[in-house]
Amino acid sequence: MSTNGVPPLFATISTSIRSGLWFTLLAVMAATSLIIVALTVASEAAAAAGTDAGRMAFSFVIFLVLVALLLGIPTVFISIRERLGQLTFLHTYLLTVAVGLSFVVVATPAMLWAILSTGVSSDVWLPVIGTTVLEVGVIALLVALAHWALKSESVATVTAFTLIAGITLGPILVVATATFAPPITQTTQTYYINWEDGNEPLDPETGYPLNPTCAKAPSTSTALLTDYTGVSAIIATSPLALVSASITPAIGDYVMPGYEDQGFEPQPPMPAIAVPLDLFSSVDVASRSLQIPVSSEPIIDDECAKLAEYGTPYPNNGQADPRDIIAETQPGFVAGAIGQGAFLVVATVILAMIRVRTRKS
């Protein structure tokens, strides 16, 4: 049955998915997600000690789904509106939700393969998939609001993409504004290991001196750094960051294989490096690092002390240990959810006002 010439929801979905564009995008999505999992699970690097190939593959698939949602929902709805015209808000919203959920459904086989390949636990995949489905509703609502409020198909499409860009790239632009604030001068005083005489006995396992001595006077360097703590909470508003913040980031100890070849003496094994196990963890650690204030107090870097404590003067390859970042910061999920809610309220009010003025004119 139809009402006022408007086909029922399921009839609309059935007709639209057979139109070609939607079906083609779903086929590409399904094939690409399976290829990604196959390449990741079979990769030697992803399967190395201290890593989790299944968890990494699962994160790749989810990020692919999110990109498909951000670009696919408004794109598919263009062809739907060209045939059906402007629909009621509820009809439009349910259609956009159906489009979004279809991308999640076709990626399910790839997700299952990734989860089962290394036994990814339910406390990872359950909240991630749940938050992804939540993002379907958010993105679908933005698209539905644009097409409900605006009579012109082209203007509605541009508005929908603008809203999606706003919630996705807007937080990054807000964070970028912090670079206009006066930078903070950070001073580092480094006590380097003395290598001058070259006759120190070396540890065969590490290649560093057994009895190291460090310079009595430090070498001083300065850097101008931006403090992002004032805008750090906004970054999780982005769908990619919010999904990443839905679980606790996981860190593994990765040991880079030493070089070994005929005619060369094998190198000692490299120290383990703390690395995020998947894209969720990488994005979340990067987002959390913005919460850490830049210290204006001098930083003391003693290579001898580090060598005694860690077995290397360059622990974690000279980079910040992500486990320290996690310990010093808070999850951004709540702040991100509040930010998305505020964005939706503002978008709804503005588009509702536009619709009212359009109807009056």
pLDDT at 353 over 60: yes
pLDDT of residue 330: 94
- Locus of tokens 């996690």: 326
Ranges assigned E (strand) in the chain: 184-191, 219-225, 251-254, 273-276, 299-302
The beta-carbon contacts of 106-109 under 8 Å, at least 24 apart in sequence, are 106/26, 106/27, 106/29, 106/30, 106/33, 107/29, 107/30, 107/33, 107/61, 107/64, 107/65, 109/30, 109/33, 109/34
Which residues does 93 contact at the CB level (< 8 Å), separation at least 6?
Answer: 140, 141, 144
pLDDT tens digits for range 149-190: 988 888 999 999 999 999 999 999 999 999 999 999 999 988
Query: 50 falls in which pLDDT band (50, 70, 90)?
Result: low
In angstroms, the Cα distances linking 84 to 112, 118, 146, 157, 259 are 36, 46, 16, 15, 63
Cα separation, 152 vs 15, in Å, equals: 22
DSSP single-letter state for residue 179: G
| Angle of helix 333-360 versus helix 153-176 axis, rounded to 10 | 150
Alpha-carbon gap, residue 305 to 314, rounded angstroms: 11
Q: How far apart are CA 96 and CA 104, in angstroms?
A: 13
Q: Is the pLDDT of residue 7 over 60?
A: no
Residue 201 amino acid letter: P
* Residue 16, pLDDT score: 63
274: closest CA among 323, 325, 206?
A: 323
| Whether pLDDT at 337 is above 90 | yes
pTM for this model (two decimals): 0.84
Token readout for 104 is: 């999640």
Q: Which residue has the higher pLDDT, 76 or 203?
A: 76
Judged against a pLDDT cut of 80, whether residue 196 lies above it is answered with: no
**pLDDT top residue among 2 and 111:** 111
User: Do 139 and 69 touch, CB atoms closer than 8 A?
Assistant: yes
- Given a cut of 60, whether residue 3 has pLDDT beyond it is no
Give 254-300 pLDDT, tens digit per residue: 766 554 444 444 455 566 788 888 999 999 999 999 999 998 888 88
